[in-house]
Chain A
């Protein structure tokens, strides 16, 4: 699931939880899912410093990434 999808799912869960007609068991299940998704999203954001690389084509025409000095 992409970050965007995770965020969309979180919005959806939050909206569902705001409804009172949701069975309690379903509400608890959604809450747990929401917490897991939040953790996932935070972990994705907390990843290490982004890299800067160059995409180059070698003599054989193969594409490869090279660290940018």
Chain B
């Protein structure tokens, strides 16, 4: 063993050689593991890596989170925060420093997830994107419903079944998206973009079935939230179960507790719509019938009044005619003639009313009640002893 590496100045290790050996020994001796401690001296490097130490009363462990791993961690930890970190223990040979390479990090309790959620919600709140006044009313009778979810997921089948049961005539357009894992936010945003540029849907459901907090996390992504808020088509969010509230729910026009509930909100029940139409038809017919009855009654009343008035008018006219006829009768020469008087007229039809009108020897006519008598003037006299007085 006297010539074993490091046993004599002649066998001395190079520094790099030794640190590499230590690194290998450490990595071989410690599989990936969880460590708990308090965060101290957190720094975010410009290259995207995070540096901090985990501490407790008796020890300190330098940690690094590589930039690509920070993406899976919802938010950077706060100073002094009690966290759990999973990683690989190693040595950083360039500085001969013990280093814990963290690839998963979470705080106790709701921890970093809640922190990230609250931070994004505050941002969106400040921009007004979660304002209830921004929420659009859903169309009551959509023809086409778009569904953004995994094409093989349970959510898609649930939504399809509920919509078919309620309203078989509605068209469904599926827009496939990855709904969990690292690529999910970009995939959801792409699906929302497609929905917007196609423009053929009246309403859209975006969501997925239940899963772990990590599975649902893409619905708490800022880019997804902004794409939902910017979408020109009303959006119903339906993520997981009743208890799962996501940022997507806050910016969507309606939050449904589950995908099935979203489908119920999206389309009406056909039979109910048909019933509504029947009732409306009934109202129209009833109203018109009432109107016809009213008009007929009014017409009847008018006719009665008209008949009554016409009858009265005719009677009044008849009475007047009779009255006038009576007076005419009294004035008529015919009546006088029936009383025994006669009217004398010359050949021209002039009535001869004075003695001087009668020329001796001339003929004239005497009108009596039943005709004419041709007469001749014998003589005229100024006495008229038998003439009745005019009074």
Contact = CB atoms under 8 A, between A and B. Distances in A.
Contact of B273 (A17, A45, A49): A45
Interface in B151-198: 151, 160, 163-164, 167-176, 194-195, 197-198
Given A4-B141, A17-B288, A38-B277, A52 B295 contact: no
Interface in B256-315: 270, 273-274, 276-277, 280-281, 283-284, 287-288, 291, 294-295
B97 to A, nearest CB: 49
B172 A14 contact: no
A38 B284 CA distance: 10
B140 interface: yes
A42 to B, nearest CB: 6
Contacts of B287: 14, 17-18, 27, 31
Given A45-B277, A49-B169, A55 B146 contact: yes
B139 interface: yes
Given A27-B291, A65-B173, A38 B140 contact: no
A54 B151 contact: yes
Interface residues of B, number: 38
B295 A24 contact: yes
Contacts of B168: 49-50
A7 B146 contact: no
A55 B195 contact: yes
Among B176, B281, B287, residue most surrounded by chain A Cβ atoms (within 10 Å): B287
Given A13-B284, A35-B284, A53 B194 contact: no
Contact of A20 (B146, B175, B284, B294): B294
B280 A11 contact: yes
A24 B296 CA distance: 11
A42 B151 CA distance: 33
Interface of B is mostly: helix
A59 interface: no
A51 B280 contact: no
Interface in B7-32: none
Interface string B193-208: 0110110100000000
A10 B287 CA distance: 13
A63 to B, nearest CB: 5
B277 A27 contact: no
A60 interface: no
A24 B291 contact: yes
Contact of B172 (A13, A48, A50): A50
Interface in A1-57: 2-4, 7, 10-11, 13-14, 17-18, 20, 24, 27-28, 31, 34-35, 38, 41-42, 45-57
Nearest to A24: B295
A35 B140 CA distance: 22
Interface string B129-144: 0000000000111010
A48 B169 CA distance: 6
B280 A10 contact: yes
A17 B288 CA distance: 7
A65 B168 CA distance: 19
B292 to A, nearest CB: 9
Contacts of A42: 274, 277
Contact of A52 (B174, B281, B294): B174
Interface of A: 2-4, 7, 10-11, 13-14, 17-18, 20, 24, 27-28, 31, 34-35, 38, 41-42, 45-57, 63, 65, 68
Which 9 pairs across A and B sit closest by C-beta, in order of nearness?
A17-B287, A14-B283, A3-B141, A34-B284, A52-B172, A50-B170, A50-B171, A10-B280, A55-B175
7 contacts: A3-B141, A7-B280, A27-B288, A31-B287, A50-B168, A54-B174, A56-B176
Given A20-B294, A55-B146, 17 more contacts: A4-B141, A7-B140, A7-B141, A7-B280, A10-B280, A14-B284, A27-B287, A31-B287, A31-B288, A38-B284, A42-B274, A48-B169, A50-B164, A53-B174, A54-B174, A63-B197, A65-B200
